[in-house]
Chain A
Amino acid sequence: MARTWKRWLPAAVVPAVIAGGALIGTVQAGAATELPDKTPQQLLELLAGSDVRTLSGTLEQTSALGLPQLPTDGPDQSGMSGAAAALDLLTGSHTARVYLDGKEQARVQVLDRLAERDIIRNGRDVWFYSSKQNEAVHMTLPERSGAKEHDKYDGEYTPERLASHFLEAVEPGTEVTVAEDVRVAGRDAYQLVLDPDSAETLVDSVSLAVDAETGLPLSVEVQARGQEEPAFELAFTELSLEAPDAGLFDFTPPAGATVTEHAVPDRSGRHADRGERQGPDAAQRDARHHDAKHRDGKVEKTGEGWDTVVELSATSLPEGWAESPAMAQALRKVDGGQLLSTALVNVLLTDDGRVFAGSVTVERLQAAAEGR
């Protein structure tokens, strides 16, 4: 009898070892590290002084915005419209690889299932390539506005951009604290927490992991009110600060691909685009960028800081976006119009065709719509 029992022993040991390994893995991932203390001010300086110009790394993005989840394994995603693609970026999880070399060379690869989307910048040439459609879009940047364009096209997926956006919002209405140190992508990091004082914003807190050595932001996490899991999370899972292989930035569209030459948007178009980019929703902004559409449209702001409400004219949105099935599913009827509600952003489409958006409660949007 004892013999029989012994023969099952290995089968019992293996799951125990696996469970132990998984446990150690999670404990190590969440392990706190000890770094010399810094005040928020010092940490912001470290962040601002970051001069990392070469890196290659892997970014992991997850969102839990409370939008209906679209099946990601569906047989056909090819006909995905702009709106659906935007929703996909908002709801799904994504992995991207980022390569940076100086200000002029960058490559971002969004790794999809059996597909990939690439944005490559090499000097003044910007390429966008989608493997699913096998199409490439090319843009040549104007020479003079190099710095601005860098700001716009570079590192769309790095925490650096997202961080600077939130730091703009640091003002009297926000409590800035330093939380306990963390490890991100195998590096020791400080954690900066922004806590909005306003009661009307949907953002509960924003935490930013700042690399202790270089000041590079390693992760961004946005918590929404009344939700346990982070509404938006973007973090490096792998990071190396060495210069990537130069050949990576050398892109020639493959034979057989559809190549489109895209004119660089003029100034007014860029201005409107900037306006639309208000609100801390980077993923949405990214989706717009992905479409590479630049529209004219008037933008008006009401409120300040976290309570900002943006009014867009309906013409600034892609035509028929509210009618697409994915949108129809997400929209909900409220007083005075239809509401697209997510954990971080509310969008109100009034019955008279105006659009109000902001990281605020529905009531605040309705008040703005009724004439502020």
Chain B
Amino acid sequence: MSSKQQAVRARPSAGWALLGSELSVLFRRWRTWAMLAALAAIPVLIALAVRLSSRDPGPGQGPPFLDRVTQNGLFIALTATVVSIPLFLPLTISVVAGDAIAGEANLGTLRYLLAAPAGRIRLLAVKYAAAVAFCITAALTVVTAGMLIGVALFPVGPVTLLSGDTISVGESVLRLLLIAGYVSLSLAGLAAIGLFISTLTEVPVGAMAATAVLAVVAQILGALPQLDWLHPWLFTHHWVGFADLLRQPISWDAFAANALLQGGYIALFCTLAYGRFASKDVLS
């Protein structure tokens, strides 16, 4: 009650100040950097493995796009994205989103945050915005690390799309950034789920693990043909749909469907998180 009145009285810039401090806390933690470094290591490892092995991967062998890498280094970014989408990216998002509220509660800093003129809605919004910022950073890290290592180790030239057409290097960099945007969007839904789970507990590890497990379970359900009625409702359903951005002409269908799906998940789990967080007694 009192927090609500304070929130109303607070200056409008208080939210931005809080977001700024939240982001600086997030990106000054060594854990965040360690996770980003691990993500950047994925394309580097793939590139080194391909570079150092004497045998070129044949067509259709290994993860998608791997056979193109020796001809064009930019494909490293695509291979790395495909490889990290099922587990590595969701894992890091789970850590950040699961830690959002539960981490503060665990450290005993949550009530101080609420005592400051912030308000619970604003705090929740800031926490979610920080998690989304991390989603974007994580996706960009994989894609840019892939592009850089690809340029360093392999020849770079016009990129062959799935349709067999060829586009210039400039346009392919643009499409890779679009793919990073698509992946960030996909992860934003998971971040909302993580935020909600984070309000349920004061044990951050529990929230992180539960979020990561949910991401894996959703993907397993998505692979079972017997459950195909459920598939369009799974938040992981469009995760690999970014391939549509590699067709000529670009197909925006998957992007639109993914945005709608993730929007639904974000709306549902952010309101659930609000319901839980606004009505719970903060004791720590």
User: A-side interface residues toward B, CB under 8 Å?
Assistant: 3-4, 7-11, 13-15, 18, 58, 69, 71-73, 76-79, 97, 109, 111, 113-116, 118, 127, 129, 131-136, 245, 248, 251-258
B279 pairs with A134, CB closer than 8 A: no
Check B82 for interface membership: any CB of A closer than 8 A.
yes
A11 pairs with B64, CB closer than 8 A: no
Check B175 for interface membership: any CB of A closer than 8 A.
no
Identify which of A11, A58, A73, A114 contacts B253 (C-beta below 8 A): A58
CB distance from B143 to the nearest CB of A (A): 16
A134 pairs with B68, CB closer than 8 A: yes
Check B271 for interface membership: any CB of A closer than 8 A.
yes
Which residues on B sit within 8 Å (CB–CB) of A134?
Answer: 59-60, 67-68, 160
B163 pairs with A109, CB closer than 8 A: yes
4 interchain residue pairs of minimum CB distance: A78-B60, A254-B160, A8-B275, A10-B271
Which residues on A sit within 8 Å (CB–CB) of B223?
Answer: 71, 73
A131 pairs with B61, CB closer than 8 A: no
B279 pairs with A115, CB closer than 8 A: no
B59 pairs with A254, CB closer than 8 A: no
A256 pairs with B68, CB closer than 8 A: yes
A133 pairs with B60, CB closer than 8 A: yes
Identify which of A13, A111, A114, A136 contacts B64 (C-beta below 8 A): A114
B160 pairs with A248, CB closer than 8 A: no
Report Cα–Cα, A272/B225, bound state, in Å: 37
What number of B residues sit within 8 Å (CB to CB) of A?
36
**B273 (CB) vs chain A CBs: closest residue:** A11
Check B251 for interface membership: any CB of A closer than 8 A.
yes
Beyond A116-B247, A248-B249, list 8 extra A-B contacts (CB 8 Å). A14-B268, A18-B264, A58-B253, A114-B162, A116-B164, A131-B163, A254-B166, A255-B160
A131 pairs with B164, CB closer than 8 A: yes
B160 pairs with A18, CB closer than 8 A: no
Which residues on B sit within 8 Å (CB–CB) of A135?
Answer: 59
Which residues on A sit within 8 Å (CB–CB) of B71?
Answer: 255-256
B240 pairs with A114, CB closer than 8 A: yes
Which residues on B sit within 8 Å (CB–CB) of A254?
Answer: 160, 164-166
A7 pairs with B275, CB closer than 8 A: yes
B225 pairs with A72, CB closer than 8 A: yes
Check B272 for interface membership: any CB of A closer than 8 A.
yes
B225 pairs with A116, CB closer than 8 A: no
A118 pairs with B163, CB closer than 8 A: yes
Whether A252 contacts B166 in the complex (CB less than 8 A), given A8-B279, A72-B225, A132-B60, comes out as yes
User: B-side interface residues toward A, CB under 8 Å?
Assistant: 59-61, 64, 67-68, 71, 82, 157-158, 160, 162-166, 222-223, 225, 240, 243-244, 247-249, 251, 253, 264, 267-268, 271-272, 274-275, 278-279
Which residues on B sit within 8 Å (CB–CB) of A251?
Answer: 164-165
Whether A129 contacts B164 in the complex (CB less than 8 A), given A111-B247, A134-B67, A256-B71, comes out as yes
Which residues on A sit within 8 Å (CB–CB) of B240?
Answer: 113-114
Interface centre among B163, B253, B268 (most CB of A within 10 A): B163
A245 pairs with B279, CB closer than 8 A: no
Which residues on B sit within 8 Å (CB–CB) of A127?
Answer: 164
A78 pairs with B59, CB closer than 8 A: yes
Interface centre among A69, A78, A79, A127 (most CB of B within 10 A): A78
A14 pairs with B271, CB closer than 8 A: yes
Which residues on A sit within 8 Å (CB–CB) of B61?
Answer: 78
B162 pairs with A116, CB closer than 8 A: yes
**B60 (CB) vs chain A CBs: closest residue:** A78
Whether A10 contacts B275 in the complex (CB less than 8 A), given A111-B251, A135-B59, comes out as yes
A109 pairs with B247, CB closer than 8 A: yes
Interface centre among B82, B251, B275 (most CB of A within 10 A): B275
Which residues on A sit within 8 Å (CB–CB) of B165?
Answer: 251, 254
CB distance from B152 to the nearest CB of A (A): 20
B251 pairs with A257, CB closer than 8 A: no
Which residues on A sit within 8 Å (CB–CB) of B68?
Answer: 134, 256
Identify which of A15, A71, A118 contacts B268 (C-beta below 8 A): A15
**B232 (CB) vs chain A CBs: closest residue:** A22
CB distance from B182 to the nearest CB of A (A): 13
Which residues on A sit within 8 Å (CB–CB) of B271?
Answer: 10-11, 13-14
CB distance from B276 to the nearest CB of A (A): 8
6 interchain pairs (CB within 8 A)?
A13-B271, A14-B264, A72-B225, A76-B60, A109-B163, A134-B68
Report Cα–Cα, A251/B248, bound state, in Å: 11
B160 pairs with A115, CB closer than 8 A: no
B82 pairs with A114, CB closer than 8 A: yes
CB distance from B118 to the nearest CB of A (A): 17
Which residues on B sit within 8 Å (CB–CB) of A129?
Answer: 163-164
Identify which of A10, A71, A113, A255 contacts B225 (C-beta below 8 A): A71
CB distance from A271 to the nearest CB of B (A): 31
Which residues on A sit within 8 Å (CB–CB) of B268?
Answer: 11, 14-15, 18
B59 pairs with A11, CB closer than 8 A: no
Which residues on A sit within 8 Å (CB–CB) of B157?
Answer: 255
CB distance from A203 to the nearest CB of B (A): 25
Identify which of A7, A13, A77 contacts B278 (C-beta below 8 A): A7
CB distance from A343 to the nearest CB of B (A): 17
Which residues on A sit within 8 Å (CB–CB) of B160?
Answer: 134, 254-257
Report Cα–Cα, A296/B125, bound state, in Å: 69
CB distance from B19 to the nearest CB of A (A): 22
Whether A257 contacts B164 in the complex (CB less than 8 A), given A73-B223, A115-B64, A134-B68, comes out as yes
Identify which of A4, A116, A258 contacts B163 (C-beta below 8 A): A116
Report Cα–Cα, A14/B265, bound state, in Å: 9
Report Cα–Cα, A10/B277, bound state, in Å: 13
A111 pairs with B164, CB closer than 8 A: no
Report Cα–Cα, A118/B249, bound state, in Å: 13
Which residues on B sit within 8 Å (CB–CB) of A15?
Answer: 268
Report Cα–Cα, A113/B85, bound state, in Å: 14
Report Cα–Cα, A10/B67, bound state, in Å: 49
Report Cα–Cα, A71/B157, bound state, in Å: 35
Which residues on B sit within 8 Å (CB–CB) of A258?
Answer: 59
Which residues on A sit within 8 Å (CB–CB) of B275?
Answer: 7-11
